[in-house]
Amino acid sequence: MLSTEQKTQFNEILEELGKNLDISETQHNAVAKSYDAVGLHLAKYDSPLGKYSPEILPQGSFMLGTMIQPIHEDDDLDVDLVCQLVGKQDSWTQFDLKKVVGDQLKAHGTYEKMLRKPDGRRCWTLDYSEDANYHLDILPSIVDSGYRILLEKAFSATDQAEANALALRITDNTEDNYTTETDHHKWLKSNPFGYARWFFNQASLDIIKAELFSEAIQPIPTYSKERLPLQRVVQILKRHRDLMFDGDENKPISIIITTLAARAYSKEANILDALANVVAAIPNFIQDKFSEKHNKMIKWVENPINSEENFADKWVDHPERQENFFKWLKQVQKDIAEATSQIGVHRIQESFEKSLGQSLVRKTFSDIGEKARMLTESGNNQIAAKIGVSTLGTATIKPHTFYGE
């Protein structure tokens, strides 16, 4: 059983780990500037999309505040975006919409060179320079007039119907009606903003929930270094996954990790308790359901805003993905328990290095030590000891039993 002071010290480590996993303000601003420029180009007065008020909005981890740095420095940040149009030309199918968006991107000489070929199942992808190290996945979508009002109302709404109303209609070239259906209400639905509303509801206290969601869905959300415990938990779990399955395409996918973590989270006020409780409770939210399509019981990770959608539907055809998920879950449970049971700064650091990566963890402990040094030099030794940084970085303050002698 950890003492209050030990918990404080572990929370400090986990918070600092999360900060070092965050994308930097420079990266955030570069990405936002890039996709804002794309939006302006799509909305130009001479663009065939112009009269439909195209808007580029972030979705996925960039919107949820759970994006993390890649394992390797030369790997890209994967930024998911929605290209949202209010209505469309009556004759346009999904194929037509995707093509018109692509053609407008190609009309910009620079974007034409950056477009990944071939285009994806749903998105157009813009690859930025090696120096920038990110790419933008742009999903063409349609909403009806009045959508922005619905989005604003959803800040404070509690009715699930409000979230359902935030669904977009998207392009997907695997759909049977991809080249034939002109009624966009019959196209595939996606609801990234309804999901974000649910996630922030799970993550936050009611008094700040609306504020968080309101900020997250802005075209260019303000960069913030602050994160809620659930956001930090998701970041740490994703990092553990990335290290364990480096380069493996059958690794557990982020939407499953994020959804299960959010379901398992019980409003713990600190990262340590949240992380321990989430990894223990995740199995409770993986269901076994009978599938008429497969005529057998299958694993089911329910989409919280669409009970008919199973985020783990690919596990049936790719059993190695299911196997890898449960391998990962077992390993992360073991690694978290092991790291948080260590005594002595070097053992704690070594334990985290094994599961989260040497460079990340060394930087984290170095940063904490530097904070301790600055507090010591400013004469705030007692404060440093209370918040738990002193024992990581200085020898002038007597170590606590948690870390040392």
Asked if residue 388 belongs to a domain, the reply is: yes
pLDDT at 204: 84
Same structural domain for residues 280 and 355?
no
Asked if residue 48 has pLDDT above 80, the reply is yes
Is 130 found in the same domain as 204? yes
Whether 100 is covered by a domain: the verdict is yes
The verdict on residue 169 lying in a domain is: yes
126 with 172, same domain?
yes
174-197 tens-digit pLDDT: 999 999 999 999 999 999 999 999
Nearest to 119 by CA among 99, 142, 141, 94: 99
Residues 318 and 384 in one domain: no
Pair 99, 178 in one domain: yes
Q: Is residue 9 part of a domain?
A: no
User: For position 128, which CATH number holds?
Assistant: 3.30.460
55 and 176 assigned to the same domain = yes
Considering the domain architecture, whether residues 135 and 277 belong to the same structural domain is answered as no
Of 194, 220, 246, the position where a domain reaches its end is 220
What pLDDT does 399 receive? Answer: 35
Task: Note down the domain range covering 281.
Answer: 225-339
pLDDT at residue 384, as a whole number: 43
- Mean pLDDT, the chain, as a whole number? 89
Question: What residue ranges in 59-150 does DSSP mark as E strands?
Answer: 77-86, 124-127, 134-143
Please say which residue of 163, 193, 220 terminates a domain.
Answer: 220
State whether 303 and 384 are in the same domain: no
Write out the DSSP string of 283-335.
GGG-EEEEETTTTEEEEE-EETTEEEEETTGGGTT-HHHHHHHHHHHHHHHHH
pLDDT at 96: 98
Residues 6+ apart with CB under 8 A from 242: 68, 70, 71, 251
**Counted domains in the chain:** 3
Last-in-domain residue among 204, 220, 236: 220
Question: Do residues 201 and 243 share a domain?
Answer: no
Instruction: Give a yes or no: residue 20 inside a domain.
Output: no
Query: Is residue 156 situated within a structural domain?
Result: yes
Helix then strand then coil, % of the chain, to nearest 5: 50, 15, 35
pLDDT recorded at residue 110: 96
d(CA 71, CA 112): 29
Residue 151 and residue 32 share a domain: yes
Verify that 133 and 236 share a domain, yes or no: no
Give the phi and the psi of residue 63 in degrees, each rounded to 5: -75, -35
Output the pLDDT for position 263.
98
For residue 110, the one-letter residue type is T
pTM equals 0.90
Euclidean distance between the first and the last CA atom of the chain, given in angstroms as a whole number = 18
Are 353 and 278 found together in one domain? no
Residue 185 resides in a domain: yes
In the predicted model, is pLDDT for residue 80 greater than 60?
yes
Residue 114, φ and ψ in degrees, nearest 5: -85, -20
Residue 4 lies in a domain: no
